[in-house]
Amino acid sequence: MIVPIILSLICVILLGLSVWLFLHGIRKTGNERVLNRLAQGQPQLAVQKTTWVGLERMFLRAGLGRPTERLGLWLTLWGVAMLLGYAVADWVGLLTLLLAPPLLLRLYISWRYRRRLNRMVEQLPQLLDHTVRSLKSGRTLADAVMGGIEASDDPLKHAMGRVQRNVQLGVNLPDAVSDFAELYEQDELRMFALGLKVNHRYGGNASELLENLIKLIRERDQGSRQLRAMTGETRMTAWVLGSLPMILVSYFMLTNPGYMLGMWHDSGGQTMLIIAVVLQVIGCLALWRMLRSV
**Sequence-distant (≥ 6) Cβ neighbours of residue 2 within 8 angstroms:** 91, 92, 95
Rg (CA), the chain: 25
42 in Cβ contact with 175 (< 8 Å): yes
Residue 58, pLDDT score: 79
What are the distances in angstroms from CA 264 to CA 47, 214, 272?
Answer: 53, 59, 9
CB-side neighbour CA atoms (13 Å) of 170: 2
Longest dimension (CA), the chain: 80
Question: What is the spatial distance between Cα 138 and Cα 236, in angstroms, rounded to a whole number?
Answer: 51
Strand, helix or coil at 41? Answer: coil
54 in Cβ contact with 60 (< 8 Å): no
Strand, helix or coil at 172? Answer: coil
Question: What is the spatial distance between Cα 289 and Cα 286, in angstroms, rounded to a whole number?
Answer: 5
Residue 108, pLDDT score: 86
Question: What is the spatial distance between Cα 131 and Cα 211, in angstroms, rounded to a whole number?
Answer: 10
Find, among 181, 201, 231, the residue nearest to 37 by Cα. Answer: 201
Question: What is the spatial distance between Cα 130 and Cα 133, in angstroms, rounded to a whole number?
Answer: 5
Residue 24, pLDDT score: 66
Amino acid identity at 159: A
What is the residue-level pLDDT of the chain in tens, covering all 294 positions? Answer: 555 666 566 667 767 766 776 676 676 666 666 666 555 544 444 444 444 567 777 777 777 776 666 666 777 888 888 888 777 777 777 777 788 888 888 888 888 888 888 888 888 888 888 888 888 888 888 888 888 888 888 888 888 888 888 888 888 888 888 888 888 888 888 888 888 888 888 877 888 888 888 888 888 888 878 877 877 777 788 788 878 888 888 888 888 878 777 777 887 887 888 888 888 888 878 877 777 665
Which pTM does this prediction carry? 0.61
Residue 25, pLDDT score: 66
152: DSSP letter: S
What are the distances in angstroms from CA 82 to CA 1, 89, 94, 241?
Answer: 21, 10, 5, 32
Strand, helix or coil at 43? Answer: coil
Find, among 250, 245, 248, 233, the residue nearest to 294 by Cα. Answer: 233
Report H helices in 39-70.
53-61
